[in-house]
Structure formats: C-alpha cells, structure tokens
Chain A
Amino acid sequence: MPVSRPFLLTLVGLSCMALPTPAAEEAKPVSGTAEQREFYTQQVLPILEAHCLKCHGAKSAKGGLRLTSQESIIQGGDTGPAVSIDQPAESLLLGAINYQDYEMPPSGKLSPENIAVLTRWVESKLAGAPQRVAAPESHDEPGPPPVNEKTKQFWSFQPVVRPAVPTPARSPWVRTPIDAFILSRLESNRLTPVQPATKTALLRRATYDLTGLPPTPDEVTAFLEDDAPDAFERVVDRLLKSPQYGERWARHWLDLVRYAETNSYERDGAKPFVWRYRDYVIRAFNDDKPYDQFIREQLAGDELPEATTEAIIATGYYRLGIWQDEPVDPVQEVFEDIDDLVRTTGEVFLGVTVGCARCHDHKLDPIPQRDYYRMAAFFRNVRRFGVRGGDSVEASSLIDIGTAEERQRHDAQVKAHQAQLRRTKEQIAPIERKVKADLQGVENDEWKHPKRRPEFVKKRVGGLLTQQEFDEYVRLIAQREQLERSQPPGLEKALCVKEHGRTSPPTYVLVRGNAHVQGDEVTPGFPSVLSPPEPKLVEPAANATSTGRRRALAEWIASESNPLTARVMVNRIWHYHFGRGLVRSTSDFGFQGIPPTHPQLLDWLASDFVDGGWKVKRLHKLIMLSSTYQLSSQADAVALEKDPANDLFWRFDMRRLSAEEIRDSILAVNGSLELERMYGPSFYPIMPPEVLAGQSRPGAGWGQSSDKDRARRSIYIHIKRSLIVPMIASFDGADSDASCPVRFNTTQPTQALGMLNSKFLMDQATVFGQYVQSRVGEDPTQQIAMALRRVIQREPTGEEIQRGLSLIETLQHEHNVSQTDALRYFCLTALNLNEFVYLD
C-alpha cells in the first residue's frame, strides 16, 4: 500500500488561503491555524473516514473525486470542483450531503450535526486539511493504452499489404494460394496434412456449409458417380446458385446484427415489417452483392445518391435492437440506444470493441473515451425506434415504399373513402341536431356517448321524427361504422432509420457515460488509433431529412483503405467454413483479441477480397476448392500430439449442426421441408403450452400458422425475444439482445429430452416413417436402409441395417408395438444419431 505522504506545493487559485512557503523537507498538513487543524483532525476527518473516504479516498476515487486534500477537493471529480473557494456555500459537496442534486453518502444522509461540521469546514475554505496528498501509486496494472506511434503499429491497425504467396516443398498438394500459406506453416512445424475427406464427407460438408441442409440421396449418388476432375467445383457452383445459399448465410449475418422481431422488455412488441430486412440480407447473399455496397446500404442506404427502396430497407439494421418504450430515465435511454449502435457497428464491421470506451478510456485498447463519443456523433441525430406507442414507431421508423402508381391509387382510394365518410356524417348531423335540441335532463350527459344516441333518437319516433327518418338514421349510423372500420389498405411499408432532420444536436463526451453530465463537445470522427482520415461531412441539402453523417461513416468503413473491414469479413467467412476464424475472436481484432494463427494468409485473403470486388461467392469458392478445406477430419496421432487444437489446419475440424440446421434437416430428411416458401413474414411454430405458461399473458404475441408454413426453414421462425422456440434455445441459437459473433456449442440433457420426447420430434418421426413406407413399402430392411441413407447421407452398412432390424423386431415382439409404430420409433432413433448432427 502506497503511503499517503503529504507534501506541500503551492496551490494556484488558493491565494485567499494562508499558504506556507513551499518546502522540500518532510511536510505536514499545515494550512490554516493550529485550531483549524485540530478542528479538521478531531472533527472533520472522522466523519470523512466513516462515510466518505472508502469511495473517495486514497484507494478509490469514485467519479474521479478524492476528498483527501484541499487540492483534490477543489480539483474535484467528473462533475467538477467539489468545493468552490469563491462561493463555498454553493459547493457541490454541500449540495450532495444535503441530498440536493447528489445524495451522498448513498448509504444514508449524515446526521445534522455531521452536516454542520462539514459545512463549517467547507465554509472555512477547507482550512486545516492537507493541501496536497501524493496520488497513490498506481497498482501493478498499467493504465489504458495510449494512442501513439507504437500502438498505431499494432498489426490489425496497419493497412493491408498483399503478402507474397509462399512456395512450400510439397507443391502437388497446393491447389490454391490458401494451401501454399497453410502448407508452408505445416512444413515449418514438421507436420503433414491428413488425407483428403471421402467424397461423401466432402459433399455433406459443402452442402451444409453453403445451404445449411443435407445433400439429397440423388445428389450423393450423382457426385459419387462423377469422376471428372472438376466434379467438386461443379458441386460448389451448384450450391452457390441455390436459393438456399442465401438463407444459410443470411442467418450468419442476422446473428451478427442481433436480428430479432420484437423489442424485448415488458411489452416485447413486434417490430413491424422487420422481415423485409431479413429478405434483403437473403437476397444480398444470393445476388452476391459486393460487401462494400452491403455495408453502405445498411449504414446509410437512405443517404446514398441512389436511395433505392432496397437500400432503405437495408437501414432496418438500425431498428433490430432492443427498445425500452418505458424508460426510467428517458435522457439516458437515448444514449443506451446510441451505445447499442456504436457497439454493434464497431464490433460487426470493424472488429473493435469501441463500446468499452463509453464510460472511460478503453482499458485494453487504445480507444480514448473521446473516440467513442466521436463515433457516437455519427448516430446522435438518429431517432429512437419510437417514443412509446405504435403511432410513434410508425413516425420514427416506418416509411411507405409503394411505387408512384401505387401511391397515386392509394391516395385516390383514401380521398374517395374520406368523401364518403364525410357525406354520411353530413346526413346524420341534421337528425341528431333535431334530437339534441329536444334532450331532457340527464339525457344531455348520456348524449355524449355516441353509442347511446340511437335510443334517444328512437324515443322521439312518432313525435319529433317519423319511423322512416329513424330507419334512415339507423342505416346511416351502420354505414358510418362500416366506413370507419374499413380504411383502404395501407401502402407497403418498410422499417428503416430516420433522423430528426438535417442538423444534429451537439454530441458531448458524457462523464462516466452519464447522459446528465456533459463534458467536452465532439464532432464525428473515426477511432484515432487507426490513423483515419477526417470524415467527409458535407452540408446536407436544404430539403435533406438527415445529416449525411452515417454516409460518411459508411464510406470510410467500406473503403479499400480501411485496415479492418476486409480483414474482419474474410475472417468471418473463414470462421463459418472452418468453425473458427484465423483470428478466433472474430469481433475483436484489438489488443485483447486472439492474434491470427495465419496473419499472412489473412492479409492475402483480405487483399484478394477487395481486389476481387468484395465478392463473397468468389471467396467461398476460393476456400472450398483448396486442399485445406477438403481435408479429412480424421485425427493423426503425431499431429494431435503436436498441435491438439489444430491451429495449423492439419485436418478439418468436425462440427455440430446449428439449431436451425438440425430443425431444417429433420424436415428435409422426412420430405416435408417447404423450400419454395421463401421470403416474407415469419411463421409461428407450435409452441408447447408449458412454454407459453411462462408469459404474463400466455399466448400473447404468438400467432397461428398453417402446417405448410410451419414446415418452412428455421430462418423464417418468428423471433420473439422473450419467447424462444425450445429447440432453437437448447441447441444454442444466437441470443439476440447483442451481436453474436460465435455461437456456443453446448451438450446438455435438455437437448436429448427435446430430441426424444418433444411433440415436434415425434410428429416428424411419424412423417418420416410414412415417407419411408410410401417409398419402399413394407420391407423393414428397405425401410431402415432408406431412413439411414436419408439421415446420414451415405450407404448404411449391413451391420447398421441389422441393428435397426433388431430394434424393430424387439419393439414388435417384446413390446407389442405395431409395425408402423416400430418404424416410427426407428425413425426417431435415426434422427438422434450423432452422425446426423455432427459433420466430419
């Protein structure tokens, strides 16, 4: 523990105090008279020690404040000087102990006597207290890394330079430059790659990687029979062209951008038209949209010169996060939303955890707090998702996307409808006027409720009104109700970003992240450690509805010279193919990220990606045609001993299917998957009542879907943040409250329970049994062979068929199960095989 050694220094600005001469000798706290010093040590200090110094003392300086010396008190903390020497009575410290703006100490207000002592002391301008106390020695830990020439040299902050492709010795193994990088590292570690994967394993791996689905038995046969040297290349081309490719890869992107379809919190309300964003992502992958354009559209599609409908839908990116519609502190909440955007954008596109610099300089990366707020400034003018209700969401986050003709037609319909409604009301009015003039006593009050008016009108039939007039009145009322109920159908809408206008409010550094404590004003800017250019901000046009700031951000992120963007994206693609990135921490390329196992390869890929026009499909092909990708997953004793984690890629790592792949595969193998039903709003799987019971209103927000819709791919499942489909949750689906760069991969008994006992599995096993029966008839051997072939996508062995047969026989003979049921239970067993859910 560092000794608190007080020593004396002149305090500028304390001239009113009796300051002793600066002295170098062993010093004592001697400001003020002996009496004042005694008052301080006998009365003030005990109070401070009992109530204040634990948080604001030598060891801790919460809010940046230490109450240990005159200097530190006057200097104050994040919120400014704790004591004003000019106007001691107005001091923050006194306000705090009197529970005005601040409430200190938080454990309870001091006694009036203690407050009186401290007040007297403050009013004496802190007399008697030590003038200055040495700052405690810092702990072993170094402070936040500064932005300087040294930290700027960190590998991922440096521009990408295309490295030369190495020339390893075993050259025939090298099919693509990727292999050259991989093999040369293996060779220098005296390792050799294992054998290539079998054709069946390779086809399965490739089909799942690109489409998230198993190959069909026909595809297996065709590939096995195709001996042409380019047979696999043609498979890859076929898969990249399949629409299912976009569904598979969109799911990865949706994990990253925390895609969900509700807002979380109490109401967990649905986000209108959010599915259009999902469709946009699926199409972007299927169309091989260049990644730089993909970035620009999501971050600033509305600010692009060509703000197409598609680009506006892409800005749904801003609307995917959680939204508190009833914030405790509405001012702070604005910055919670902005934080979500800074964090997500920083991690997803740049692989930098900028979010950690919200309350203080980033402790681990050279990202000053100021840089965080400069990033935040790009989003400062973005409207919140809504203010409270549906109307506010409509105003803040929805836009009509109808074509000009559609809009014209719509306007005409609205006009006609309004005119008809007006006419009806005009016809009702004279009748009601007559009756109103005739109302008696309490009738006047009741008349205020339009629903009750007809009875008062009716009372006057035969007097004031004729029966005919009354009948006409009834008809008109009905007509009015009908018209009010049947508004013309609305225009097509999209969920999108909107700003408050063409000028942004100022952005301030927020002290400790507290929205109520503003520090310096900042302008938009990129993290300084990346040595970035200044953002190209242009004065928005007079009729602009936004500042253009997001465009500047998007252009910088999507630029070829950004050191991180391409590296981060190629690494993600590598990660999704190999189960781990060259940088394993796929969203953290900073100081604490895991350094790349193959830095040269990473840079070569990044550079090639940009040179190839940011095309993702090209990169898939490059990777998949490499020998590295086509390696077997079999272990090799020597390599396993030397490189157990397979850092060097001497083999291909096995992987478990994702939650969505498991569900989709079950539907695929039993023949019920509805592949044609692509795009559009989500569907609702059957939710077990036990799960619905966890809701405060069981069933609320969970709709019905047709059986056909329920057989759609999992990417179309409605994602309600507070009500996740059990199978998706138990197999580690992405938690959507924050960006999910890498999924968990857990093994737990709840998965087994769901796969054995859930209604979904039993239903699907039944369908599977019927499918098999309808194809091969009643021969159990044929049935088992077919079921296994569909599940493991290879020809089953005799032993495997025999094992199934004996199960069916035992069930029939020892458990009195019908043949159909026995087959069904065999199908259920087959869907539980490790080989079904694990890929070699």
Chain B
Amino acid sequence: MSQNVPRPNFCGRTRREFLWQAGGGFTGVALAAMLGQDGFLSRQTVAADGLTTWQNPLAAKPPHFAAKAKNVIFLYMYGGPSHIDTFDRKPKMTGMDNKTVTVKTFGRGGHKNQGRIVEPRWKFQQYGKCGKWVSDLFPHLATCVDDIAFVHSMTADSPIHGSAMLMMNSGKILSGSPCMGSWVNYGLGTVNENLPGFVVMLDPRGGPISGAKNWSSGYMPATYQATVMRSSGTPILDLAPPDGVTRPMQRQLLDTLRNYNEQHLQSRVDNHDLAARIASYELAYKMQSSAPDAVDLSQETAQTQELYGINDPKAGAFGRQCLLARRLVERGVRFIQLYSGGNHNDANWDAHGDLQTNHDLHAAETDKPIAGLLKDLKDRGMLDETLIVWGGEFGRQPTAEYAKGTGRDHNAYGFTMWLAGGGIKGGVSFGETDELGAAAVENRLHVRNLHATILHQMGLDPNGLTYFHNGLDQKLVGVEGAEPIREIIA
C-alpha cells in the first residue's frame, strides 16, 4: 500500500518548486531542464524561462486525470439566500411562526441562544422524478430538479459578508489569496486565447462587498485574475479602440509597431519576452473581434432569448448574463462567475428587513434565466461538461433578526448550495440541517469540500494542485486539504 502513503505534507515543497516561484517565476530563471523531469510541475509551470520558446501561461494544460467538466459557471447569489425558504424544506416549522425557541445562532448581530421563529414564507411542492421539494420562489428552476444535486449541509467559517465571500471565492477568510477561477486557469489554462479564461459578470446595481478582492488572483500573477465582462456595451475594459480609430487604422498602427519591434528583436532573439510581447498585441487585436462577437446576443433565436427571459423586465439582466455565459462556455472560457445581487441592503439577497419582498425580487430575477440556462445547455448536449454551481456565501437563520418583521440574519452553521451538470448526479439531495435549518447536522460539509468537488470535476486533484507562496505550498482547499463530495458525483 506504499503508493497510498499520503502526499507530501503541505510544507513539503521541493527546491524545484521554489525556484519556479522565485525570481519572479516567469523570467530569467533557468528552469525548463529541471522542471522537465517532473511531470506534474512541468504541467503547472509556465515556460517563459528564457530558454524555451515562449508559451502563453494560459495555454491549455492537461488535467491531472480525466475531467468530467471542462467549464464552470458559478451562479453567485450574493448576500446569502435563505435555504429554508428555497430548497431546504422544514415542515416542522409550520405553525411555529413567532414562537420563541432556544437555538444557537451567529450572524452580524453576534451570538444568540434564542430567537423568534420566522416560518418559511413560501409554500413547497414536489417536483420531478426525484420528488424534490422546492419553494414557490422558483417555479421554473423547480422543473430542473432531476438534473440537480442539492447539498444541504454546507458550513462556512464566517457569517460576515466580507470574510465569508472571500472564503467562498478564495477558500480563506483572510484577504490576499487567489480565487477559484484563478486556480482553475492556473491548473488548466484556457483553450481559447482570444478570450479571458476567468470571467466575472456583475449585477447592474453594483459589485459585491470588497469588490475586486472577490475575483483577484491574490499572490498569483495577474495573468490569472478575472476579467470583468459586460453583457452590453463594450464587454471588456479598454477593448474598443479609442474614438476615431477604425479597425483598419488600428491594423495599420499595429503593423507599424510590429515592424519597429521586430527590428528591435533582431539583435535580441534570445529574449523570448520580447517575442511574447509582440504576440500579445496580436492576441489583443483578435480579442477585439472575438469578445464583441461572444456578447452579441442578437445571434440567438427569439426562442432562445425567451428561454432565458431576456425580455422580461425583472429577469432580463440576469438572463442576458446567463445566455452570455453559455456562449462563453461554447468558446472555451473555463470559469465564469455571475453575480445575482450587488451593492448593499436589499439590492442583493441579504434579507435583513422584509424577507418576502427581498427574496421575491431576487428569485424573480434569476429563476427563469437559471432554468433556461440548464435547459439550453442540456438541449445542446453541453450540460455534461459544464458544471453549474449555485449559492451564496452563507444561508440565513430560522429566527428573526429584530423584534419585528421577517428579516433573517446570516447563517454559516448550515446552508444549501446546489450543483448540476459536469459529472454531478441529478435528482439527489445530500446532507441535512436540523429541524429549523439552524445548523448542518448530517454529513456536514465545509466550503472546502465544495471547492474540492469543483476542482475534482475539472480533472484537478484538489490536494495536489499547489502554488508555492510565502514558504508554503498553498492550495485552494487550504493546508488541511479536503475531499470532494463523492456522494453527489455521478
């Protein structure tokens, strides 16, 4: 069983790995010969070492093992949807409205030991072959339950938005680590150099709390950070040439630039960074045509547009983003994150005040688009290789936050996320919270398990995908490591 000996522990990096990171990691260090001997590392290493021909650090790399999913769409429900009002049915709460009960909670209001029950405000019905109970908030999505694996026993380290979002996106409650999309692109690269490998789309009402920290590449190079894309207007920052510059004019400028740069290169051919920079201008030029093409939703049939609800006044914005996400997946973008909700207060799922108004709004904005996305992917045979992840940074408490009203405070002790496609079982539910949904009790899972599952489905070993920084082999799943949620993997 010696092959089963645990991997080198988290600090057990080799000098080779260290070399790669030192010296900027990307230039000036002679690594290829050394790294070439190590299969895993050479796959993880960019070759801009001054020795070998330059290679885009985002060039596609083989996974650690056969991947079930090629792309991820993370539907981020910012603010934290209430699990007991959506997918985690609590029949025993019926009739308990306004009763004061003893229950341990921890939210922005601190630790509490009792509270006043706010009975779930929506009716639940059973759907699909699996008979999953879904609340009336999601009439469209409810028809997709046979393709979805619900995970009801999620837990996170923080019930405070800022740190909880960092946790969900980067695996740590501390600021400064790369986000999941950075890890996936670091591990796999991208198959389409003309588009970014990690795309984030924001709610029109604003970004989430902590802004760009939620899509930062942290201690990894900027190559792996997300590009914010918009579903209308200029899709990417600085993508459009300045006013007055036509595409043929720009070609003229670039040809001139190239001539200067090639002449400069002639006496410096051993410096591959110079060639790389020349190539990067051509990539940028191609991106200027491929990105607008990707966001051109008018290429879609009216039927498809309708499926996503893009003409619906409430669902239109998120519908456009979901449809764009599918088009990006078709074009090979590895990791796409969509934010439902932005800004503060009730502009996102953070229902501290009026639970009903809040969740009615955000569910109406997302229900049809998400159902449309799942159906469309399935019809096109793309769902098998596209992993969909739904959820927020935490759930909500069973009790009221204030003496009056229906607002619920944050709950990191137990909440629901769901996954679909990309090698995930459909029509299953895993893990349980207690009778009030206050805490996960059965098969408790941590955000790290979710991250491990996503990496695993992408063909990456969550405990083997490491990046050396600050004296440690860092991992998305942390030094402790984490196992994927095997019970929901097909």
Interface, chain A (partner B; CB < 8 A): 1, 59-60, 106-109, 139-141, 264-268, 322, 324, 326-328, 336, 343, 353, 355-356, 359, 362-364, 579-580, 584-586, 588, 592-594, 633-635, 640, 644-647, 653-654, 656, 688, 690-691, 693-698, 721-724, 726, 729-730, 732, 735, 737-738, 742-754, 756-759, 762, 799-800, 803-804, 806-807, 810-811, 814-815, 817, 821, 825, 828-829, 832-835, 837-838, 840
**Nearest CB of chain B from residue A165's CB, rounded to whole Å:** 27
CB-nearest residue of chain B to A138: B5
- The complex places the Cα of A584 from the Cα of B18 at a distance, in Å, of 10
Nearest first, the 4 closest Cβ-Cβ pairs linking A and B are: A737-B176, A266-B162, A645-B30, A1-B1
Q: Residue B264 at the A interface, CB < 8 A?
A: yes
- The complex places the Cα of A806 from the Cα of B51 at a distance, in Å, of 36
**Given A108-B442, A645-B29, does the pair A757, B5 have CB atoms closer than 8 Å?**
no
- The complex places the Cα of A314 from the Cα of B369 at a distance, in Å, of 54
User: Which residues of B have CB within 8 Å of A838?
Assistant: 271, 273-274
- Cβ contact within 8 Å between B238 and A695: no
- Cβ contact within 8 Å between B470 and A355: yes
Among B222, B236, B252, B278, the one with the most A-chain Cβ atoms within 10 Å of its Cβ is B222
- The complex places the Cα of A594 from the Cα of B15 at a distance, in Å, of 8
> Please, could you name 23 A-B residue pairs with CB atoms under 8 Å apart, sorted by A?
A108-B432, A264-B175, A268-B210, A324-B163, A363-B10, A364-B11, A592-B15, A645-B29, A696-B342, A726-B237, A738-B176, A742-B24, A750-B227, A752-B277, A754-B238, A758-B237, A803-B259, A807-B252, A814-B252, A815-B246, A815-B249, A833-B264, A834-B265
- Cβ contact within 8 Å between A695 and B5: no
Q: Residue B332 at the A interface, CB < 8 A?
A: no
User: Which residues of A have CB within 8 Å of B446?
Assistant: 106
**Given A326-B160, A750-B227, A757-B242, does the pair A141, B12 have CB atoms closer than 8 Å?**
yes
Q: Residue B98 at the A interface, CB < 8 A?
A: no
- Cβ contact within 8 Å between A834 and B24: no
**Nearest CB of chain B from residue A303's CB, rounded to whole Å:** 28
**Given A266-B162, A584-B22, A721-B213, does the pair A833, B257 have CB atoms closer than 8 Å?**
yes
Q: Residue B4 at the A interface, CB < 8 A?
A: yes
- Cβ contact within 8 Å between B153 and A108: yes
- Cβ contact within 8 Å between A594 and B19: yes
**Nearest CB of chain B from residue A332's CB, rounded to whole Å:** 10
**Nearest CB of chain A from residue B266's CB, rounded to whole Å:** 12
Q: What does DSSP make chain A's interface, helix, strand, loop or mixed?
A: loop
- Cβ contact within 8 Å between A645 and B267: no
**Given A696-B343, A721-B175, A744-B24, does the pair A829, B5 have CB atoms closer than 8 Å?**
no
Q: Residue B100 at the A interface, CB < 8 A?
A: no
- Cβ contact within 8 Å between B24 and A743: yes
- Cβ contact within 8 Å between B18 and A749: no
- The complex places the Cα of A147 from the Cα of B177 at a distance, in Å, of 32
Using A1-B5, A328-B160, A690-B237 as known contacts, list a sample of 19 further A-B pairs with CB atoms less than 8 Å apart, ordered by residue number in A.
A1-B4, A141-B12, A322-B174, A324-B163, A326-B160, A328-B173, A588-B18, A592-B15, A722-B213, A732-B221, A735-B216, A737-B176, A748-B58, A815-B246, A828-B253, A832-B281, A834-B260, A834-B264, A840-B268
**Nearest CB of chain B from residue A374's CB, rounded to whole Å:** 18
Q: B6-28: which have CB < 8 Å to A?
A: 6, 8-13, 15, 18-19, 22-28
Q: Please encode chain B, from 19 to 44, with 1 for each CB lying within 8 Å of some chain A CB and 0 for all others.
A: 10011111111100000000000000
CB-nearest residue of chain A to B468: A592
CB-nearest residue of chain A to B265: A834
Q: B121-164: which have CB < 8 Å to A?
A: 153, 157-163
**Given A328-B173, A698-B206, A735-B219, does the pair A691, B50 have CB atoms closer than 8 Å?**
no
User: Which residues of B have CB within 8 Å of A729?
Assistant: 222, 225
Among B57, B234, B245, the one with the most A-chain Cβ atoms within 10 Å of its Cβ is B245
- Cβ contact within 8 Å between B13 and A745: no
Among A588, A640, A690, the one with the most B-chain Cβ atoms within 10 Å of its Cβ is A690
User: Which residues of A have CB within 8 Å of B444?
Assistant: 106-108
Q: Residue B191 at the A interface, CB < 8 A?
A: no
User: Which residues of A have CB within 8 Å of B96?
Assistant: none
- Cβ contact within 8 Å between A748 and B223: yes
Q: Residue B287 at the A interface, CB < 8 A?
A: yes
User: Which residues of B have CB within 8 Å of A814?
Assistant: 252
- Kindly identify which residue among B18, B219, B271, B277 contacts A594, using a CB–CB cutoff of 8 Å: B18
CB-nearest residue of chain A to B155: A106
User: Which residues of B have CB within 8 Å of A336?
Assistant: 174
Q: Residue B280 at the A interface, CB < 8 A?
A: yes
- Cβ contact within 8 Å between B23 and A825: no
- The complex places the Cα of A140 from the Cα of B356 at a distance, in Å, of 59
**Nearest CB of chain B from residue A794's CB, rounded to whole Å:** 12
- Kindly identify which residue among B252, B287, B342 contacts A810, using a CB–CB cutoff of 8 Å: B252
- Cβ contact within 8 Å between A833 and B261: yes
User: Which residues of A have CB within 8 Å of B445?
Assistant: 107
**Nearest CB of chain B from residue A605's CB, rounded to whole Å:** 19
**Given A807-B252, A832-B257, A833-B261, does the pair A585, B22 have CB atoms closer than 8 Å?**
yes
**Given A328-B160, A653-B28, A749-B283, does the pair A322, B175 have CB atoms closer than 8 Å?**
yes
**Nearest CB of chain B from residue A499's CB, rounded to whole Å:** 24
**Nearest CB of chain B from residue A11's CB, rounded to whole Å:** 28
Q: B83-124: which have CB < 8 Å to A?
A: none
Q: Please encode chain B, from 231 to 251, with 1 for each CB lying within 8 Å of some chain A CB and 0 for all others.
A: 000101111111011101110
- The complex places the Cα of A327 from the Cα of B164 at a distance, in Å, of 11
Q: Residue B209 at the A interface, CB < 8 A?
A: yes
User: Which residues of B have CB within 8 Å of A724?
Assistant: 212
- Cβ contact within 8 Å between A834 and B261: yes
- Cβ contact within 8 Å between B175 and A326: no
- Cβ contact within 8 Å between B256 and A829: yes
Q: Residue B450 at the A interface, CB < 8 A?
A: no
**Nearest CB of chain A from residue B259's CB, rounded to whole Å:** 6
- The complex places the Cα of A645 from the Cα of B33 at a distance, in Å, of 11
**Nearest CB of chain A from residue B105's CB, rounded to whole Å:** 14
**Nearest CB of chain A from residue B198's CB, rounded to whole Å:** 12
- The complex places the Cα of A804 from the Cα of B263 at a distance, in Å, of 14
Q: Residue B361 at the A interface, CB < 8 A?
A: no
- Cβ contact within 8 Å between B249 and A811: yes
- Cβ contact within 8 Å between A265 and B153: no
Q: B157-203: which have CB < 8 Å to A?
A: 157-163, 173-176, 196, 202
User: Which residues of A have CB within 8 Å of B6?
Assistant: 59-60, 139
**Nearest CB of chain A from residue B184's CB, rounded to whole Å:** 17
- The complex places the Cα of A264 from the Cα of B174 at a distance, in Å, of 10
- The complex places the Cα of A640 from the Cα of B259 at a distance, in Å, of 26
- Cβ contact within 8 Å between B222 and A109: no
Among B50, B212, B441, the one with the most A-chain Cβ atoms within 10 Å of its Cβ is B212
- Cβ contact within 8 Å between A691 and B4: no
- The complex places the Cα of A139 from the Cα of B267 at a distance, in Å, of 52
- Kindly identify which residue among B173, B223, B242, B253 contacts A746, using a CB–CB cutoff of 8 Å: B223
Q: Residue B440 at the A interface, CB < 8 A?
A: yes
Q: Residue B311 at the A interface, CB < 8 A?
A: no
CB-nearest residue of chain B to A762: B242
Q: Residue B292 at the A interface, CB < 8 A?
A: no
CB-nearest residue of chain B to A724: B212
Q: Residue B230 at the A interface, CB < 8 A?
A: yes
